[in-house]
Amino acid sequence: MKAKIATLFTLLFLVVVNLGIWSYVNNPLKLPSWNKTMMGLTFSPMRRDSNPQKGIYPTKEQIGEDVALLVGKAHSIRTYTSLEGMEVVPELAAKYGEHLAMGAWIDSDLEKNRREIESLITLSNQYPKAIVRTLVGNETLLRKDVDIEQLIEYIREVKKRTWKPVSTSETWDIWKANPELVNEVDYIAVHILPYWEGIPLEAAVDYIFERYHDLQQTFPGKQIVITEVGWPSDGQPFKHATASLANQAKFLREFLNRANEENLVYYVVEAFDQPWKISIEGTAGAYWGLFNVDRQPKFPMEGDVLANPAWRNWATGAALLSFILMAGFLFTRKSLKLTGKLFFGIIANLAASVLFWSASIAAAQYQTGFSVVFWAILLMMQAMAVLVLLTESLELAEVLWHRKGRRTFAPLTPHPEFRYPKISVHLPIHNEPPEMVRKTLQALARVDYPNLEVLVMDNNTKDPAIWQPVQQDCQRLGPMFRFFHLENWPGYKAGAINYALANTASDAEIIAVIDSDYILSPDWLKSMVPYFDQENVGFVQSPQDYRDLEQSSFKEICYWEYAGFFNIGMVQRNEYNAIIQHGTMTMIRKSAFEKVGAWGEWCICEDSELGLRLYEAGYDSVYCKESFGKGLMPDTFSGYMTQRFRWVYGAMQIIKRHWRHFLPNKKSALTSAQRYYFVAGWLPWFSDALALLFTITSLVLTGLIVQDPIHSELPVNAFLLPTIGLFGFKVLRGLWLYKARVNCSLFQAFGAALAGLSLTHTVARGTLQGLFTSGKPFMRTPKYETQGPLVAGLLIIWQELLLLSLLVAGIVIMRSIEHFDNLSGRLWVAVLAVQSVPYLATFLTILISVAPNYLPGKKLSADELDSENL
């Protein structure tokens, strides 16, 4: 009870700290206030569902509501068109006493231009008190819709037929480049938008006044009206300019106060957000309004400003999720020390906060149908990344801060009266080098156990020169060894050992299975068989181990990569009676086969599948981390990949067949810990598949972004946790666990990490193919295989090299585009760089594996190494 109360207080403490961090990050911004009426606002009444490109416009009533809302906010409003329903604005302005700068939209459609001009002239003459100035065109020359002569002709016509001041709106550089245009207008209507020029916020207001004064000096005596000035509250960064609500508030308050001091005439762009502009200006184009599209003010003009006004809602959601995650994991971990609970709690709070932070970014943006699907997929993938992060964090916590285990099994010494049950050792072989199998048989002959038989099943080896020497060795070793040659036998390895099961001596009580390359310790059976005295023990497992790590640097890094599973994962799973049965060095109670059935010939990982069925039948397991036998590792990187692909693909087969047993239900005999550890044990493989999906997504996005950098947005926030965050955590976690549990140096731990990373793409392929296909044949890991040349190795990893090349190309191109010379651009490059690491690891591992072919000195084969050791 005390432990539960302590855990509850720990959870509550972490939640409070998390909320405190949210509060600190979202502290109100202290900005200079603005308590006056603005000089002017640009006005477009488009609503959430409006789109002038599709001919969808707001109603007259909606326009009237908008003009009424702006009364008192600005002395004047500016429009861009005299058509499309905006003909009612002068009447409304006159009604509410607002001044109006009426505009006519000019583009390449000459017929429409004529209607715009006529409407502008008519309205100017009809509402002379409301309309204080007119604008013929908006950035028309910047877009190159008409030439300067045509624009001047329009301006002259409006000047001739109205008496209001006439100009056209252009950016400052267009005015400086066209002094003849200045001579035609009554005032210079200029756009100065530091954001679109990539000016950082800190220098933005100064930049505006520099440009303003430069125009004054260039065109003295000409009135200058800033007809667009502003800053977006969201959207993609533009060079060194960052769009955010805080930046918009800071910019506007600073500009308005300074403009008031210098008596500038200006129009802030704009009154309301315009989501339809995303298609022409990118995401930032939608967020220039003082009001959002629902006509709600984004921030107050006086007092403090909240960068994320809804942060309390998101923080509460993150706190609830983190509490649920912590409670679900930690209340079931009675043996976990307080330090471990704190560590896991911190990770859970961090992960939940990042997930809700990403969701808050998506919720604050205007979404299209495509973007909704895009964000939904990204958030779902983030949630999967969070699940992986939590399970791996819990494993780390349990390894480092676990109270002394209750299920630690050591080798036993049989007492003098011990009854030695008969054991049938099954040795399946297929096309194996006879000199290698001979060493395995010789070791079996030296096993110190009084009641033993050995069944050797040669499965479908075609060449008699390979299998007949093994048959002769069995005959030479005596009646304890029985040899069977199976022609056209189905079921691969599982079929062979099922044949052995059917031909096992009737008085045998235990089935032991080893691989054809294993040299056993003589005391294996005596040391482990006594555990079967416990009636509920269904199988006893010893670790896989290898004797050829000194053969090459490649095998050394493979050796330590394997060691992590058997010294960390299996030991921890054993604490909860949830180990993975891995075929070789395993013993199974023979009577259990009668209860659960034979080896599964449908599955290429028949050993793990049988172990799961034994658990489902209620049997217990025993895992002793003492090594009792050593085999051979794959000789080539190709063999290493094939072996791992088989393990992963087989695991996916098992998941598809047994998934109902992993759900909480009364029909399954699996304990909650067994369900958890089987799912958690496979999650890292799903993580690699997830990483591949993120990599492909980032490459596609990079291609689209490079094609149109101005209108593209980098979804950096959605990629930080699943790529940089998860990758960094996994590397640090692996090194930490190796230091705690594996007897190797830091350099060897890095080698293991390199080997593991090199298989990332293989694991991802195995996961995805295993989930969506079936019927892959059993893939044997060849022994005594000759290492091929580098070119052959590179051809094997062509997919990894292609992805690596694309990622490197993406990094180079992104770095070369000035538009992305900002934090978002650099973070995106970091995402691509991290995603390239596993593929780079694959390339380096190939180089290490083939290096002996190109280096001087004698190269020992596995056979020669065995001879030296023996």
Q: What is the pLDDT of residues 444-479, one digit of tens each?
A: 999 999 999 999 999 999 999 999 999 999 999 999
- CATH number of 38-286, picked from 3.30.60.50, 3.40.50.880, 3.40.1830.10, 3.20.20.80: 3.20.20.80
Q: Strand, coil or helix: what is 513?
A: strand
Question: Which string of b and e fits 397-428 if b means at least 16 CB within 10 Å?
Answer: bbbbbeeeeeeebebbeeeeeeeebbbbbbbb
pLDDT of residue 867: 54
Question: Which string of b and e fits 543-570 if b means at least 16 CB within 10 Å?
Answer: bbbbbbbebbbbbbbbbbbbbbbbbbbb
pLDDT of residue 495: 95
Radius of gyration of the chain measured on its C-alpha atoms: 37
pLDDT of residue 870: 47
Judge whether residue 392 has pLDDT over 80. yes
* Residue 99 bridge partners (DSSP): 76
Using an 8 Å Cβ cutoff, are 581 and 610 in contact? Answer: yes
pLDDT tens-place string over residues 590-607 = 999 999 999 999 998 999
pLDDT of residue 1: 59
pLDDT of residue 589: 97
pLDDT of residue 535: 93
pLDDT of residue 302: 92
pLDDT of residue 365: 87
Please name which of 345, 343, 358, 342 lies closest in space to residue 721, comparing C-alpha atoms: 358
Q: What is the DSSP letter of 72?
A: T
The owner of tokens 């001739």 is 160
Judge whether residue 860 has pLDDT over 70. no
Q: What angle do CA 83, 84, 89 make, to 5 degrees?
A: 70
Q: What is the DSSP letter of 851?
A: H
Measured between its terminal Cα atoms, the distance across the chain in Å is 57
Q: Is residue 537 within a helix (H) or strand (E), and if so which, with residue range?
A: strand 537-541
Judge whether residue 633 has pLDDT over 90. yes
Please name which of 471, 427, 432, 429 lies closest in space to residue 453, comparing C-alpha atoms: 427
Residues 698-708 have a mean pLDDT of: 90
Indicate the pairing of strand 629-630 with strand 519-520: antiparallel
pLDDT tens-place string over residues 798-843 = 999 999 999 999 999 999 988 888 888 899 999 999 999 999 999 9
Using an 8 Å Cβ cutoff, are 235 and 195 in contact? Answer: no
Please name which of 642, 635, 634, 737 lies closest in space to residue 684, comparing C-alpha atoms: 737
The region of weakest confidence among 250-254, 665-669, 810-814 is 665-669
Mean pLDDT score of the chain: 91
Taken in order 603, 604, 607, 608, the sign of the CA dihedral is negative
Structure tokens at 395: 């494993």
* Residue 424 bridge partners (DSSP): 453, 511
Q: Where in the chain is the domain with CATH 3.90.550.10?
A: 422-655
The most confident of the ranges 397-401, 681-685, 827-831 is 827-831
Q: Is the CATH code 3.20.20.70 the one for domain 422-655? A: no
Using an 8 Å Cβ cutoff, are 582 and 605 in contact? Answer: no
pLDDT tens-place string over residues 217-233 = 999 989 999 999 999 99
Residue % of the chain over a pLDDT of 90: 73
pLDDT of residue 814: 92
Residues 747-760 have a mean pLDDT of: 96
The region of weakest confidence among 25-39, 289-303, 393-407, 504-518 is 393-407
**Which pTM was predicted?**
0.87
Burial of 464 (0-12, 13-18, 19+ CB in 10 A): exposed
pLDDT of residue 405: 64
Residue % of the chain over a pLDDT of 70: 96
Give the count of beta carbons closer than 10 Å to the beta carbon of residue 669: 12
Q: If pLDDT is split at 50, 70 and 90, which confidence band does 779 have? A: low
pLDDT of residue 449: 97
One-letter amino acid at 283 equals T
pLDDT tens-place string over residues 720-734 = 888 888 899 999 999
Please name which of 588, 422, 426 lies closest in space to residue 493, comparing C-alpha atoms: 426
Give the count of beta carbons closer than 10 Å to the beta carbon of residue 113: 22
Judge whether residue 636 has pLDDT over 80. yes
Residues 399-424 have a mean pLDDT of: 89
Distance between CA atoms of residues 607 and 276, nearest Å: 58
pLDDT of residue 784: 66
**HEC profile of 123-143:** HHHHCCCCEEEEEEEECHHHH
Judge whether residue 249 has pLDDT over 50. yes
Q: Where in the chain is the domain with CATH 3.20.20.80?
A: 38-286
Judge whether residue 334 has pLDDT over 80. no
Using an 8 Å Cβ cutoff, are 304 and 28 in contact? Answer: yes
